[in-house]
């Protein structure tokens, strides 16, 4: 177990630290996806070389989550039907989910609960984006899906301390990120920002993740994304879909105002999210 005096950010920054690795395929997929010159054909060709990943993407594409009528039988077809960015998100999401299948974490965090929270946030973020007519925001699903993975790093490196942090935050009804800052001198949002940097994730993924509990400091360029994740996170907590270890969520009045959303808009988004719960659960089974 890491000593209390060791700075978690230093651990992540230290190239010698053995962090959960992102598969080579996933990091190449991310690089391909962020290159404007990459065609759907290039991406499909690349993913199709990995049979296990291909099978998982096809199973997810054919799940109720996407609700397609016709069967998707190739990555080419998946890109045409569910889209270039969704296929990218699935490829990277699957890889991150499997990177964290490690013994010991389960003693601190309930991974099934955390992943359901993550899938709910990703689904909610997509619904919010639709509501505010953001179409160019394709990475939002993945940002919301991975926003809390910093908690897993805490559970891995500071299991005893983190267990205490989780317990105290719940007992005192303190937002988890505040308790983390108090005890561990950093929070899971900052940690995930560093982890994503280490994994060479593009800025449009790492920056909104890093600021999801400090939205006012997020660079203007990613202000919308960070507000969407903040609202998605709030809604999933209130709907009690999945669990993230946090039991005290902060008010989102300011976030709603900044996104120009009314209470009626939020009620519609909530209805959409609730309707998708069975699909999210199926998605979780296939993803995990």
Binding site for Fe ion (CB under 5 A): 148, 233, 244
**Residue 224: CB minimum distance to Fe ion, A:** 18
**Residue 93: CB minimum distance to Fe ion, A:** 15
**Angle of helix 263-275 versus helix 111-131 axis, rounded to 10:** 130
Q: Distances from the Cα of 14 to the Cαs of 19, 21, 145, in angstroms?
A: 10, 14, 26
**Residue 244: CB minimum distance to Fe ion, A:** 4
59 versus 178: smaller Cβ distance to Fe ion? 178
233 versus 255: smaller Cβ distance to Fe ion? 233
- At residue 222, φ and ψ (nearest 5 deg) are -115, 20
- DSSP code string of 36-53: TT--HHHHHHHHHT-HHH
**Residue 175: CB minimum distance to Fe ion, A:** 9
**Residue 237: CB minimum distance to Fe ion, A:** 7
Rg (CA), the chain: 18
43 versus 227: smaller Cβ distance to Fe ion? 227
3-state secondary structure at position 15: coil
Query: Among 7, 25, 26, 27, which residue's Cα sits nearest to residue 17?
Result: 7
Separation CA 190–CA 172 (nearest Å): 23
- At residue 48, φ and ψ (nearest 5 deg) are -60, -20
129 versus 233: smaller Cβ distance to Fe ion? 233
53 versus 109: smaller Cβ distance to Fe ion? 109
């Amino acid at each position: 177990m890491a000593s209390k005096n060791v700075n978690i950010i230093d651990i992540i920054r230290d190239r010698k630290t053995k962090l959960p690795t992102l598969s080579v395929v996933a990091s190449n997929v991310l690089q391909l996806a962020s290159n404007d010159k990459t065609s759907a054909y290039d991406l499909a060709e690349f993913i199709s070389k990995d049979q296990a990943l291909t099978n998982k993407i096809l199973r997810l594409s054919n799940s109720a989550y996407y609700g397609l009528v016709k069967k998707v039988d190739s990555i080419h077809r998946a890109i045409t039907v569910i889209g270039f960015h969704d296929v990218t998100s699935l490829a990277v999401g699957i890889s991150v989910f499997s990177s964290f299948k490690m013994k010991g974490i389960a003693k601190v965090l309930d991974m099934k609960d955390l992943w359901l929270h993550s899938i709910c946030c990703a689904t909610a973020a997509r619904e919010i984006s639709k509501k505010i007519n953001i179409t160019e925001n394709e990475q939002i699903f993945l940002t919301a899906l991975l926003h809390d993975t910093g908690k897993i790093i805490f559970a891995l490196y500071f299991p005893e301390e983190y267990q205490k942090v989780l317990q105290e935050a719940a007992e005192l009804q303190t937002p988890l990120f505040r308790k983390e800052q108090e005890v561990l001198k950093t929070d899971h949002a900052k940690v995930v920002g560093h982890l994503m940097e280490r994994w060479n994730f593009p800025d449009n993924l790492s920056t909104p993740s890093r600021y999801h509990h400090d939205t006012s400091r997020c660079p203007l360029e990613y202000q919308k994304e960070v507000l969407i994740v903040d609202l998605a996170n709030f809604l999933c907590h209130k709907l009690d879909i999945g669990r993230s270890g946090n039991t005290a969520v902060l008010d989102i009045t300011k976030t709603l105002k900044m996104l120009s959303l009314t209470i009626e808009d939020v009620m519609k988004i909530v209805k959409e999210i609730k309707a998708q719960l069975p699909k999210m659960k199926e998605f979780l089974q296939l993803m995990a």
